[in-house]
Amino acid sequence: MNEKARMASSTSLVVVATKTSLLDRDLEIPDVATILEVRGDLNQNISPSWLRDRFSGKLLYSLPGRCQQGEAMGPLTSRHQALIKAAREYDLVQLDADCDLCEVLAAIAAEKRLICWKGAAGDMAYLRSVFQRISSVPARLYSMIIEGSSVQDGVKPLLLLKELGRSDLTAICEGQSGFWTRILAPHFGAPLAVGTLDQGPIGNSGEPSIQQLLEDYGFPELHPVCEIYGIVGNRAFRSLSPRLHNAGYRSLHYPALFLPFHVETFEDFWQDVIQASVLEPLGLQIRGLTIASPYKEAAFAAALSPSPIACRAAASNIIVHRNNLWEAHTTDPESVAAITGNGHNLAEPFKAAVIGCGGAGRAIAASLQQAGANVTLVNRGKERGQLAVSLLGLPFMPLSDFEPAAFSLLVNATPVGIDEEYIPFEIDAVRTGTTVVDLAYGPRPTPLATGIAARGGTVIDGYDVLLNQVRKQFLLMTGWELPARIGRETATRRYFVPRVPEQGNYKMGTRCR
């Protein structure tokens, strides 16, 4: 990493205002934000003076055009009139490098211009030529948004930032697979980090929320980064692991960053990113990865040094690079630690059912078996259930035949309930005194967790399980203990939306694999 990146201590935060957020009269913008971006196509009737009464930073006006949507928003003359009008009321105006660098320049002062280019990556020579072209027009700031479809596409804009060493250029890769570049770009000199006021899931553009920038990555402060860790999956953005790991790094002044890598196939990621060492030209190394479903079996197969419990489950949810080898481990059995930590006695034989025979379910079943439980595997699909039987030698029953009342411990190792009002099994069939462990977690407590709690039952939810796993993962990756103060409150801060349980109003899930 260049010296400028090492010396950087903070970046400017841009908050993107959506239509719904600006119409909210209780508009809340974090005090640390320095720029509020108003998108003219969504907020045509918003008064800049109304915004200035609620925000003390600078106002940026943007109007999506060819560089952002493939076609201009109406006639160019109308577009230019809107931009010229905005320049009289806003501190900054975003100009499209392909359709706005014409007569409009005469009406917009250079210090108010943010010139944006968006296009295919090409090679480094092409990107240099693009920047040379757009920077020939005086402006306060420049932005290059590179179209990409894979994680490795994001290396080029970061290399460009490192090479040019400019303090007025932000270069990133768009899309979900380029999300990680938005977090790393400021470490290579990009002056801006952009987040939306929305708190929903990451969209196709890959824009994080301002909440994520603050809570998960510690912006606007920039901490030294020498090592990269992360989570790999096709739902990686749903994970709270970045928030917990990065909080640990900051607390310990450990020079690392934990990033989500959205990938469509693990094998391509392994070959094109890990084996190709694509981050080395940036002065960075990927030292460890947690693996989200459905890639746990593929990660296990890729690593050369698997742990015994990973071998039993034939799946790994964490791989660590140590002694020039990738080690495969699984921290899914830490769910058992969560059980004992909540007072469940595993010293005496008991009957347990693990619903879900994926990598997590198999690892938990193996761990419970070692603890002395009589474990039954449960799964909707018989094929995956039979695979688990062949690996673990445990009894299996299809979900359609499952009777929860026969067990004193139930583990939901499926994603059922994360997004929808579904439950993996009938709550009313759970007998009094049964402990329920729900690995799923989301922006709200799952219907299973709230339903069991409403009946006065004992439930260990996905947040508790996550914390136990992250503590083990942090130690495996860094050799350091995750600070004890980083706990459930850290995970749920500004994220946890209470759910009012409605008994008997849940639907049986259909996503148990």
pLDDT at 348: 66
Q: In what order do the strands lie in the sheet with 92-96?
A: 169-173, 141-147, 113-120, 92-96, 58-62, 35-39, 12-17, 192-196
Q: Are 255 and 225 in contact (CB under 8 A)?
A: yes
Pick 238 or 337 by higher pLDDT: 238
Q: Output the 3-class SS for 242-285.
A: HHHHHHHHHHHCCCEEEEEEECCCHHHHHHHHHCCCCCHHHCCE
The H-or-E segment that residue 327 falls in is strand 325-329
Distance, C-alpha 471 to centroid of its chain: 18
pLDDT at 14: 96
- Structure letter (DSSP) for residue 10: B
pLDDT tens digit string along 49-84? Answer: 988 988 999 999 999 865 444 444 556 688 899 999
Percent pLDDT > 90 in the chain is: 69
**Closest C-alpha to 193, from 33, 76, 338:** 33
356: region left, alpha or beta (phi > 0 left; psi from -120 to 50 alpha): left
Distances (CA, A) of 137 to 93, 120, 132: 14, 21, 9
pLDDT tens digit string along 95-144? Answer: 999 989 988 999 999 999 999 999 998 899 999 999 999 999 999 999 99
Pick 407 or 336 by higher pLDDT: 407
pLDDT at 487: 92
pLDDT at 342: 60
Pick 1 or 220 by higher pLDDT: 220
Does the pLDDT value for residue 504 go beyond 50?
no
Does the pLDDT value for residue 311 go beyond 70?
yes
Pick 39 or 291 by higher pLDDT: 291
pLDDT at 443: 76
Instruction: Give the residue-averaged pLDDT of 336-352.
Output: 69
pLDDT at 222: 96
pLDDT tens digit string along 353-386? Answer: 999 999 999 999 999 998 889 999 999 999 999 9
Q: How many residues does this entry show for the chain?
A: 513
Residue 158 — very low, low, confident or very high, per pLDDT cuts 50/70/90? very high
The per-residue pLDDT of the chain, averaged, comes to 88
Instruction: Give the residue-averaged pLDDT of 219-237.
Output: 93
Maximal C-alpha separation, the chain: 81
Does the pLDDT value for residue 23 go beyond 70?
no
Query: Which are the contacts of 117, defined by CB distance < 8 A and separation ≥ 6?
Result: 67, 96, 97, 98, 130, 134, 142, 143, 144, 145
pLDDT at 417: 86
Does the pLDDT value for residue 7 go beyond 70?
no
- Specify which residues 92 forms β-bridges with: 60
Does the pLDDT value for residue 512 go beyond 60?
no
- Where do the domains of the chain lie? 3-222, 224-330+466-493, 334-460
Pick 494 or 155 by higher pLDDT: 155
pLDDT at 370: 87
Percent pLDDT > 70 in the chain is: 87
Residue 335 — very low, low, confident or very high, per pLDDT cuts 50/70/90? confident
Report the C-alpha gap between 245 and 363 in whole angstroms. 22
Q: Which long-range contacts (CB under 8 A, 24 or more apart) does 45-54 make?
A: 46/17, 46/22, 48/89, 48/90, 51/22, 54/27, 54/29
Q: Are 337 and 468 in contact (CB under 8 A)?
A: yes
pLDDT tens digit string along 163-203? Answer: 999 999 999 999 999 999 999 999 999 999 999 987 665 66
Q: Are the folds of 224-330+466-493 and 334-460 the same?
A: yes
- Superfamily of the domain at 3-222: Aldolase class I (3.20.20.70)
| Strand blocks (E) in 113-270 | 113-120, 141-147, 169-173, 192-196, 227-233, 256-262
Q: Are 153 and 121 in contact (CB under 8 A)?
A: yes
- Structure letter (DSSP) for residue 509: -
Instruction: Give the residue-averaged pLDDT of 323-328.
Output: 95
Q: Are 11 and 190 in contact (CB under 8 A)?
A: yes
Instruction: Give the residue-averaged pLDDT of 222-242.
Output: 92
Does the pLDDT value for residue 148 go beyond 50?
yes
**C-alpha triplet 183, 420, 200: angle, nearest 5°:** 25
pLDDT tens digit string along 251-276? Answer: 999 999 999 999 999 999 999 999 99
Q: Which fold has domain 224-330+466-493?
A: Rossmann fold (3.40.50)
Please return the burial class of 414, using the count of CB atoms within 10 Å of its CB with bins 0-12, 13-18 and 19+: buried
- Superfamily of the domain at 334-460: NAD(P)-binding Rossmann-like Domain (3.40.50.720)
Pick 28 or 14 by higher pLDDT: 14
Q: Are 61 and 86 in contact (CB under 8 A)?
A: yes
pLDDT at 345: 60
